[in-house]
Amino acid sequence: MNTDAIQNNKTELAIMMGILFSAGSISHAHGEQSITQALKKGTAEIDLRLRYENVEQDTNDANALTLRTLLGYTTSSYKGFSAKVEVEDTRIVLGEGDYTVGPSGYNVGQYSVIADPEHTELDQGYVQYQSGGLIAKFGRQVITMDNHRFVGHVGWRQDRQTFDGVSVTYAASKALNLNYAYLSQRNRIFAQDADLDSQDHLINLSYHTSFGTFVGYSYLLEVDNETDNALDTFGASFNGSATFAKSTVLYGAEFATQSSETDTSDFDADYLMLEAGIKLSAVTIKLGYESLGSDNGQYGFATPLATLHKFNGWADVFLNTPAQGLVDVNVTVSGKLAGGGWSVVYHDFSADEDSSTVDDLGNEIDLSYVRKFAGGYATGIKYATYSGDSGIQDTDKLWLWGSASF
């Protein structure tokens, strides 16, 4: 077993020991019988997702059929304390594993990338304390902020992203919410081998009004790898809606500034998002503009903790922002059909700071249909087709899946 695997196993063991130790401490303070009742009256959960994914590119292709299983148990509350343990497993089904997962070392260089490695790991394991408007969690947990643009769980992938650390949420009033988290490890989507030790501070404040929600945030990120590095982002957003007759007008804006520093580099870049739309009885139409800025064509605005698949096209061509930056002008049309929901999205990509070789970055069309059924069942189909430019290859992706939650 390699050193990284040993360290990851030690981390998971420490989390589990922390949960058991905390439960034992609570038991000692409040009585063994009460803790026993809290454990007995907990809730067991199981979530299954079987998915087929196909990738076709100019230089390669890939196929994957994988089954993701989540098994969890959440205790009931005693004196405000509760605990959750959840295990996640992904297996290749029927031998359909012709794909590459570079960070985990699976089939490196042989196929196109499908980021669903086989793995078994502790997905969540935390102790929670709740009192009034205060919720605090210690351990491995899912943490998301706002629309996942900067902090998300990447739940689309079979190995979703979680974090080790402490999080505190406080509802100071019906309008004001305060969120803080300290992250000591980023458990990314490529299984344990690609997890990163960190010293991250996440601060997010939101204020709700009758016409929209204001958010201010600071995300101060540092990879704990014995080198000087920092990725600091400060921003604000506003999103809201207004109803007129039988339609609802949607609007939103967001701006952020970012500095990235290492031993050998120091870059600055800005982020801008503008969105407007209208929701009618049968269809919703949105027009969006998003710019991930560049610092003189040498660095692109980065969001390493985001649910990246949700943004800039489902083909995942721009998971890493180009050094020239990225401008995404997009149109989304969505609605209901036959008991399910459909959507069509068009993206037009270009560089924030163009050069003689990089300007137009192509375009993409995304299609999806998802239907949920009674009893926790759901099925879906999704397709993305990206037409490349500036040396970026064409990419087509297809997904078919079914899921069940109990």
DSSP sequence for 91-114: EEEEEEEE-BBGGGTBSTTTS-B-
Q: Calculate mean pLDDT across residues 223-252.
A: 95
pLDDT digits (tens, 9 = 90+) for 101-114: 988 889 999 999 99
Are residues 66 and 99 in contact, defined by beta-carbon separation less than 8 angstroms?
no
On the question of pLDDT at 395 being above 50, the answer is yes
Task: Give the 3-state DSSP-derived string for 308-366, with helices as H, strands as E and coil as C.
Answer: HHHCCCCCCCCCCCCCCCEEEEEEEEEEEECCEEEEEEEEEEECCCCCCCCCEEEEEEE
| pLDDT at residue 117, as a whole number | 96
Q: Calculate mean pLDDT across residues 85-100.
A: 97
pLDDT digits (tens, 9 = 90+) for 284-342: 999 999 999 999 999 999 999 999 999 999 999 999 999 999 999 999 999 999 999 99
| pLDDT at residue 245, as a whole number | 86
On the question of pLDDT at 206 being above 50, the answer is yes
On the question of pLDDT at 90 being above 60, the answer is yes
Distance, in Å, from the CA atom of 385 to the CA atom of 383, rounded to the nearest integer, reads 7
Could you tell me which of 258, 20, 289 has the C-alpha nearest to residue 139? 20
Token representation of residue 183? 């992250």
% of the chain beyond a pLDDT of 90: 84
pLDDT digits (tens, 9 = 90+) for 339-372: 999 999 999 999 999 888 889 999 999 999 999 9
Give, in order, the Cα–Cα distances in Å from 197 to each of 2, 64, 226: 16, 29, 10
**How many angstroms from the chain centroid is the CA of residue 44?**
24
% of the chain beyond a pLDDT of 70: 92
For residue 294, give the DSSP letter: B
What is the residue whose two structure tokens read 């902020």? Answer: 145
- Asked which of 65-69, 189-193, 376-380 is least confident by mean pLDDT, the reply is 189-193
Predicted confidence band of residue 6 (pLDDT cuts 50, 70, 90): very low
pLDDT digits (tens, 9 = 90+) for 108-151: 999 999 999 999 999 999 999 999 999 999 999 999 999 999 99
Token representation of residue 367? 């299609």
Predicted confidence band of residue 193 (pLDDT cuts 50, 70, 90): confident
Predicted confidence band of residue 40 (pLDDT cuts 50, 70, 90): confident
DSSP secondary structure string for all residues of 215-262: EEEEEEE-B-SSS-EEEEEEEEEEEEEEEETTEEEEEEEEEEEEEEEE
Give the H or E element holding residue 336.
Answer: strand 326-337
On the question of pLDDT at 32 being above 60, the answer is no
Could you tell me which of 71, 70, 114, 121 has the C-alpha nearest to residue 96? 114
pLDDT digits (tens, 9 = 90+) for 262-289: 999 999 999 999 999 999 989 999 999 9
| pLDDT at residue 24, as a whole number | 41
For residue 28, give the DSSP letter: H
Predicted confidence band of residue 33 (pLDDT cuts 50, 70, 90): low
Q: Calculate mean pLDDT across residues 8-12.
A: 49
| pLDDT at residue 137, as a whole number | 98
Angle between helices 32-40 and 3-30 (to 10 degrees): 120
Distance, in Å, from the CA atom of 82 to the CA atom of 125, rounded to the nearest integer, reads 11
In this structure, whether the domain defined by 3-405 belongs to CATH 2.40.50.140 is answered with no
Q: Calculate mean pLDDT across residues 222-229.
A: 94
Could you tell me which of 146, 162, 145, 133 has the C-alpha nearest to residue 72? 162
Residue 70 C-beta-side C-alpha neighbours within 13 Å: 22
On the question of pLDDT at 20 being above 50, the answer is no
Comparing 10 with 88, the larger pLDDT belongs to 88
Averaged pLDDT of the chain: 92
Q: Calculate mean pLDDT across residues 204-227.
A: 96
| pLDDT at residue 21, as a whole number | 40
Predicted model pTM: 0.89
Question: Can you tell me whether residue 360 is helix, strand or coil?
Answer: strand
